[in-house]
């Protein structure tokens, strides 16, 4: 019986080339670059048109159209330059994500949990039962010893 070889589909191939390591770009990879360039120019021109016609800006739309055109031309005619531009945008996106995580998420996390803990403490709510009851000497609970060793085999 012949072993069936799994082939990566075209959708996941656009995002992650896990079956191809190095080498010259294949036609599907080249096609993906061209699609990325076309999508980029459509988005860039749409944003530029919105800024020009709806907001009345003149400088920023020209800049956006120029950048979109350069990126698309690189995607079509200069693939190594397109890869460099894409890698630069990926580094920028990663930096923005890390910065936002520290700037937004950390303060929001501490603000939310400190304020909610303070409110619960004022109202006397102890959902986690962290406060030791005044009339108890210890939290220790007595239990019978385990004699059956199969108990330790049933972890879940």
Phi, psi torsion values for 63, nearest 5 degrees = -65, -45
Lowest mean pLDDT among 9-23, 40-54, 83-97, 142-156: 9-23
pLDDT of residue 153: 82
- More reliable by pLDDT, 98 or 13: 98
The number of beta carbons lying within 10 Å of the beta carbon of residue 29 is: 16
Lowest mean pLDDT among 12-26, 60-74, 111-125: 12-26
pLDDT of residue 149: 83
Rounding to the nearest 10 degrees, give the CA dihedral for residues 90, 95, 97, 101: 160
- Reference 71, options 86, 61, 58, 59; nearest CA is 86
pLDDT of residue 112: 93
Dist. CA 75–CA 80, nearest whole Å: 9
Q: Using alpha carbons only, give the angle 86, 92, 94 rounded to the nearest 5 degrees.
A: 105
Q: Taking 90 as the threshold, does the pLDDT of residue 49 lie above it? A: yes
Stated pTM of the model: 0.53
């Amino acid at each position: 019986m012949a072993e069936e070889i799994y082939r990566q589909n075209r959708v996941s191939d656009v995002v992650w080339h896990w079956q191809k390591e190095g080498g010259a770009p294949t036609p599907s990879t080249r096609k993906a670059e061209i699609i990325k360039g076309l999508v980029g120019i459509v988005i860039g021109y749409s944003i530029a048109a919105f800024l020009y016609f709806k907001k009345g800006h003149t400088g920023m739309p020209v800049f956006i159209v120029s950048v979109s055109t350069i990126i698309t031309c690189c995607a079509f005619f200069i693939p190594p330059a397109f890869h460099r531009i894409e890698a630069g945008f990926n580094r920028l996106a990663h930096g923005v994500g890390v910065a936002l995580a520290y700037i937004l998420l950390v303060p929001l996390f501490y603000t939310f949990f400190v304020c909610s803990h303070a409110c619960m403490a004022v109202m006397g709510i102890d959902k986690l039962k962290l406060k030791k009851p005044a009339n108890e000497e210890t939290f220790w609970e007595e239990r019978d010893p385990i004699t059956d060793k199969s108990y330790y085999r049933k972890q879940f």
